[in-house]
């Protein structure tokens, strides 16, 4: 097996509030992401999925364990990792046109290449013709496409997606899932998706990791052996898809239930 591009080794996160309260969000989470692999993290709400993603992206330091990216310890944000957040309306820059927003993602590229790369990224997500528009002039789905273009313009090794489609309607969500799926098939990045939508996780991923409630650990790993390329119309009809979705859903519910009672043995 190839070396993982991203690795979380026994990562623990404990938040300390200003009032001194201590909140153990994650406890001993380990995961590996192979190059070009698509992995999703699901879990009951409050499992600290978003916090874990922030740690994996280098936005937050873990209180225990370590994150490794490309075989080296990751201690801060680094080129090669792109992040798309749920709240596109707060992560796009409203004073910049769509073109310039995406160009912000191309800052690390040679100047001569930037324009053509930005144009290429906008084409990939289907936003050609909207270069000079402003984010607030576009629908939520289109804004998230712009955020995706900005994340991918730098040709990252890892794309992290934090509940990227939670703020759009169901139809748009399906379309965006396919945009991400297609881009992933055509490009060379590995993807780490945090979502509470089990169907979405199963639909897009190679593997789905189920987290427990706080303090979270990886409860289970489910391999998704669905054929690729996938499409909303056919893949979700497959008997295997329905089985896998039910299996993961069952694990998430089990994780949620155990929150109230005793912890399951690992």
Partner 1 sequence: MGGPDKAEKVRASSSREAPDLVAFESVETQVVSPAVMGNFRSRRNVRVRRRLRMAGGVVIAIGLWELVSVTQLVSSTALSSVSATAAAIGSNAGVLFSAVGQTLEAWAVGLAIATVAGVIMGALVGRSRIADALTETLVRMMRPLPSLALIPIAILVAGLGLKMTAGLVAFTSFWPIFINTRYGVAQVERLLLETATTLGLRGLALIRSVVLPAAAPLIASGFQVAVGLALVVTVSVELVGGTGGIGSYVLAAQQGNAVANMYAGIVVGGFLGWVLNTGFAGLFRRLLPWANQREGSE
Least Cβ distance, residue 3 to partner 1 (angstroms): 23
Interacting residues with partner 1 between 190 and 229 (CB under 8 A): none
CB nearer to partner 1: pick between 39 and 159: 159
Least Cβ distance, residue 163 to partner 1 (angstroms): 10
* Binding of partner 1 by 175 (CB under 8 A): no
Least Cβ distance, residue 103 to partner 1 (angstroms): 10
Q: Nearest to residue 7, comparing CAs of 108, 79, 81?
A: 81
- Site map (CB under 8 A) of partner 1, residues 141-170, x = contact: x-x------x-----------------xx-
CB nearer to partner 1: pick between 57 and 244: 57
Q: Which long-range contacts (CB under 8 A, 24 or more apart) does 252-261 make?
A: 252/42, 252/43, 252/44, 252/198, 252/210, 254/219, 255/43, 255/44, 255/47, 255/210, 255/211, 255/212, 255/213, 255/219, 256/44, 256/213, 258/212, 258/213, 259/44, 259/46, 259/212, 259/213, 259/214
CB nearer to partner 1: pick between 165 and 241: 165
- Site map (CB under 8 A) of partner 1, residues 25-64, x = contact: x-------------------xx-xxxx--x--x-x-----
Least Cβ distance, residue 188 to partner 1 (angstroms): 19
- Site map (CB under 8 A) of partner 1, residues 62-101, x = contact: ---------------x-x-xxx-x-x-xxx-xxx------
Pair 63, 46: CB distance under 8 Å? no
Q: How far is Cα 192 from Cα 37, in angstroms, rounded to an integer?
A: 8
Count other Cβ atoms within 10 Å, centred on residue 135: 21
Least Cβ distance, residue 25 to partner 1 (angstroms): 6
Q: How far is Cα 8 from Cα 74, in angstroms, rounded to an integer?
A: 10
Pair 255, 196: CB distance under 8 Å? no
Torsion of CA 45, 47, 49, 52, to 10 degrees: 160
Binding site for partner 1 (CB under 8 A): 15, 23, 25, 45-46, 48-51, 54, 57, 59, 77, 79, 81-83, 85, 87, 89-91, 93-95, 104-105, 107-108, 134-141, 143, 150, 168-169, 172
């Amino acid at each position: 097996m190839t070396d993982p591009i991203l690795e979380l080794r026994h990562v623990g996160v404990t938040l300390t509030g200003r009032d001194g309260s201590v909140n153990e969000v994650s406890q001993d989470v380990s995961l590996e992401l192979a190059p070009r692999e698509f992995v999703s993290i699901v879990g009951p709400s409050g499992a600290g999925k978003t916090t874990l993603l922030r740690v994996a992206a280098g936005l937050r330091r873990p209180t225990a364990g370590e994150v490794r990216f490309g075989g080296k310890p990751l201690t801060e944000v680094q080129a090669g990792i792109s992040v798309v957040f749920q709240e596109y309306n707060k992560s796009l820059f409203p004073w910049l046109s769509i073109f310039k927003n995406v160009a912000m993602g191309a800052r690390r590229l040679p100047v001569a290449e930037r324009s053509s790369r930005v144009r290429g990224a906008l084409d990939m997500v289907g936003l050609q013709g909207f270069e000079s528009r402003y984010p607030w002039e576009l629908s939520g789905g289109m804004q998230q496409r712009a955020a995706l273009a900005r994340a991918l313009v730098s040709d990252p090794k890892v794309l992290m997606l934090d509940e990227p489609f939670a703020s759009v309607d169901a139809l748009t969500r399906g379309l965006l899932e396919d945009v991400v799926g297609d881009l992933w098939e055509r490009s060379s990045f590995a993807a780490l998706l945090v979502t509470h939508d089990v169907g979405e996780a199963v639909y897009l991923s190679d593997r789905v990791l189920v987290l427990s409630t706080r303090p979270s650990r990886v409860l289970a790993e489910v391999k998704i052996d669905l054929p690729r390329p996938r499409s909303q119309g056919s893949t979700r009809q497959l008997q295997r898809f329905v089985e896998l979705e039910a299996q993961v859903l069952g694990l998430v519910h089990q994780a949620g239930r155990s929150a109230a009672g005793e912890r399951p043995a690992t």
